Chain A
Amino acid sequence: MALEAGGAPGAPAAGAAGPHGAATHAVLGAVEQDERREALERLRRFGGDRLVRDMARIFVTDMPARLERAFVALAARDASGAAYAAHTMKSSGAQFGLGALARLCGQVEQAARAADLAGVATLLTDVERELAAGRAWLERELQLDAGEQ
């Protein structure tokens, strides 16, 4: 017997270019804002504010290290290492509703598995940007201070 449990559906990539330019960007930004809020509400339902803060602390401290591991793997032309690092970041980003970050990390993972290291290099700079934005949002949202990280 096989049982399945639901995961989060995807959402359009934030910041994607479209025929409606800034309006599209604003709508997509609003979609991700909803995803983030829903993600925090869901995590609070699972384990209260304590779970959210504990997971957020791990996110803000671990994610830069995972990104660094991806860059190190890239420099060493270690495609599987880059894929693994991206996979771990994708999972954590998705759990907080950071859809753009999760999608970019998924693209890094795919590029790495296809041995497209040039693609990995390009995408990792985008990941770095989205990760910085994601960390900043979490720190603001949860009022994490330096002493808690």
Chain B
Amino acid sequence: MTVVAVVEDNADNRLLLRAILDGLYEVDEYEGAETALAAFRRAAPAVVLLDISLPGMSGVELVRVLRDDDALKHVPVVALTAHAMAGDRETYLTAGFDAYVTKPIVDESALLRAIDRLTAGRRSP
């Protein structure tokens, strides 16, 4: 099954994302960027849903590390953010994200479409 990594420090948001992805993808959850990065270096996920605001290493810092890593730079990363001001889109794309999803999540179909496009539709049957 296609692996989606969720890097999100809020337990309730992790629950929500798992519920949305349940049965469609295998979900690996991480509370922080450092533990996620260590895991990705052992086995890269198909796509990462990455909270921007994390304790310690931020989401932006993590995506920059991924883009500098030859083994991980190909992994698509979706920013999860409560920031949705004008110019944020360009900020996240410039930082290395492939897409972003604003929180609170109100439309799961848009999130799933984003994951489908970034993983070339590699859902479980």
Tell yes or no: A92 within 8 A of B by CB.
yes
Tell yes or no: A146 within 8 A of B by CB.
no
In the assembled complex, the CB of A80 is this many whole angstroms from the nearest CB of chain B, namely: 10
Complex interface residues of chain B between 1 and 56 (CB less than 8 A to chain A):
9-13, 15-16, 19-20, 22, 53, 55
User: Complex Cα distance A136/B113, Å?
Assistant: 36
Q: Are A47 and B16 in contact (CB under 8 A)?
A: yes
Q: Are A95 and B103 in contact (CB under 8 A)?
A: yes
Q: Which residue of A lies closest to B101 (CB)?
A: A5
Count the A-B residue pairs with Cβ separation under 8 angstroms: how many? 101
User: Complex Cα distance A88/B100, Å?
Assistant: 18
In the assembled complex, the CB of A115 is this many whole angstroms from the nearest CB of chain B, namely: 18
Q: Which residue of A lies closest to B9 (CB)?
A: A88
Tell yes or no: A2 within 8 A of B by CB.
yes
User: Which of A4, A55, A58, A62 is most buried by chain B, counting CB atoms within 10 A of its CB?
Assistant: A4
Q: Which residue of B lies closest to A58 (CB)?
A: B12
Per-position contact with A for B98-123: 1 when CB-CB < 8 Å, else 0?
Answer: 11111111111011011001100000
Complex interface residues of chain A between 5 and 25 (CB less than 8 A to chain B):
5-8
Number of A residues contacting the other chain (C-beta, 8 Å)? 29
In the complex, chain B residues whose CB is within 8 Å of the CB of A92:
10, 12-13
Residues of B near any A CB (own CB < 8 A): 9-13, 15-16, 19-20, 22, 53, 55, 78, 82, 84, 89, 92-93, 97-108, 110-111, 113-114, 117-118
Asked, given contacts A5-B105, A8-B106, whether A46 binds B53 with beta carbons under 8 Å apart, the answer is no
Q: Which residue of B lies closest to A51 (CB)?
A: B19
Asked, given contacts A2-B99, A43-B16, A58-B12, whether A90 binds B82 with beta carbons under 8 Å apart, the answer is yes
Q: Are B20 and A7 in contact (CB under 8 A)?
A: no
Q: Which residue of B lies closest to A66 (CB)?
A: B10
Asked, given contacts A1-B117, A62-B11, A90-B82, whether A7 binds B106 with beta carbons under 8 Å apart, the answer is yes
Return the contact of B16 from the options A55, A84, A90 (Cβ within 8 A): A55
In the assembled complex, the CB of B2 is this many whole angstroms from the nearest CB of chain A, namely: 17
Asked, given contacts A84-B55, A88-B10, A95-B16, whether A7 binds B89 with beta carbons under 8 Å apart, the answer is no
Return the contact of B108 from the options A2, A46, A59, A91 (Cβ within 8 A): A46
Per-position contact with B for A54-82: 1 when CB-CB < 8 Å, else 0?
Answer: 11001100100000000000000000000
Tell yes or no: A87 within 8 A of B by CB.
yes
